[in-house]
Amino acid sequence: MSSALAADADPGPSSAGPPGSTRDRIRDAAVLRFARSGFGTSVRTIAADAGVSPALVIHHFGSKDALHAACDEHVLAGIVESKRQNMGRATGGQLLQVLAEVDEYAPLLGYVVRSLQAGGDVARAFVEHMIEDARVYTREAVAAGIAKPSVDEDARVRYLTLSSLGTLSLALTLNPPEDPEDVGATVRTFLAEHYLPMIELYAQGFLTSRRMLDDYLLYVSDPPTGGESDDAPAPETTNEEP
């Protein structure tokens, strides 16, 4: 993202240009400014951050709403790519390297938090996009042997996405950063407080047995059946009426 911000080339037309184009530079400056200051930021401020005129912003995107939509698309794509890369790297012994690169992804997380705080249709659409993308890279993680399969993969993906976004949003709402524009410091503080318990829960789980799950599957009216591993014990059956 920083390399795009430093580029000076201008492709001319208002459609998407090549990587490093002026259009990309404006979009990346907007992502960072929205993450720092919220979506009430003016086109003039974004233009100043990108080192261009407000007229050039409108030339490339047509309107602030269109720029916002382009930022949404870019951030969602960046989250998917970072998840795909980092899930394999972190479980392959490169966790510290991943954490050291947090500044690279800080604007994405800051943008997500601003989207959640904005609420309404934008937040709902953004979260649903994140859930849909999470289905893709979670399937990839299961296929690669990184993650365990689930008895209901869609439900698990939705829960994990909502719980992670909720934790991030609530933590930053209850303890706002001293400098709202220092996105990197905000994310580092969040990771320092929450990464260890999160990894522990993911890697080791919480309960010592699956008894609670088996009991639930016995009494649910239409239990899901997909994703259970071959070596997992099947729930006990009973002839008694529930």
More confident residue, 70 or 236: 70
Residue 95 confidence (pLDDT): 67
Give how far Cα 138 sits from Cα of 54, 126, 158, 196, 199, Å: 40, 18, 11, 21, 16
Number of H helices and E strands in the chain, helices first, is 11, 0
Distance CA 126, CA 180 (A): 22
The residue type found at 82 is: S
- For 131-186, what is each residue's pLDDT tens digit? 998 898 899 889 989 899 999 999 999 999 999 888 888 888 888 777 777 777 87
Mean pLDDT of 93-108: 74
pTM (global) more than 0.75: no
Exposure of 219 by Cβ count < 10 A (0-12 exposed, 13-18 middle, 19+ buried)? exposed
The answer to whether the Cα torsion of 167, 177, 130, 98 is positive or negative is negative
Mean pLDDT of 34-60: 95
